[in-house]
Amino acid sequence: MKPVNLKYAKSQKGNINMSIKKSNLIYGEFGLVANEPGILNASQLAAAVLALKRSLKKEGNTILRVFTHTPVTKKPSEVRMGKGKGSVSHYITKIQKGSFILEIKIITKTSATSTLAINSLSLAKSKLPVSTSIVCGVN
């Protein structure tokens, strides 16, 4: 998960509070909300989405509400000080407290789909490094 085009290849760190807060369900009926601010790696997000898709199978769709677009640079080991900024090693996204990370839209409505959605979100929850909670938007 890497962005196609960026205005600048490398960026400064910045604050977590500068990210956009996405605080309500838009696309699906169930969601995963961050309980604390933090940073998510591209591989962590990919692992959570893969766990969701494997457990849901064809019962529902997964919607990723955040995307990794902030590059993180790293200089090689045993390199002296100076000589500019290092090359991009990976991409991250910054999330605020109360922002939605993932959503599930259920396709086939049965009595067991809500338990399936909650179980699959708890699997995805275990893959993420920040504390999260499951939100149900179904009336």
Q: 96-121, pLDDT tens digit by residue? A: 888 999 999 988 888 788 899 999 99
Q: 21-31, pLDDT tens digit by residue? A: 677 888 888 99
What integer is the mean pLDDT of 88-103?
Answer: 91
76: helix, strand or coil: coil
Structural domains in the chain, CATH included, are 16-73+87-136 (3.90.1170.10)
What integer is the mean pLDDT of 39-55?
Answer: 94
What integer is the mean pLDDT of 32-41?
Answer: 93
pTM of this structure: 0.85
Q: Calculate the average pLDDT of the chain.
A: 88
In this structure, the dihedral spanned by the alpha carbons of residues 17, 64, 30 and 114, taken in order and rounded to 10 degrees, is: -150
Q: 60-82, pLDDT tens digit by residue? A: 899 999 989 899 999 999 999 99
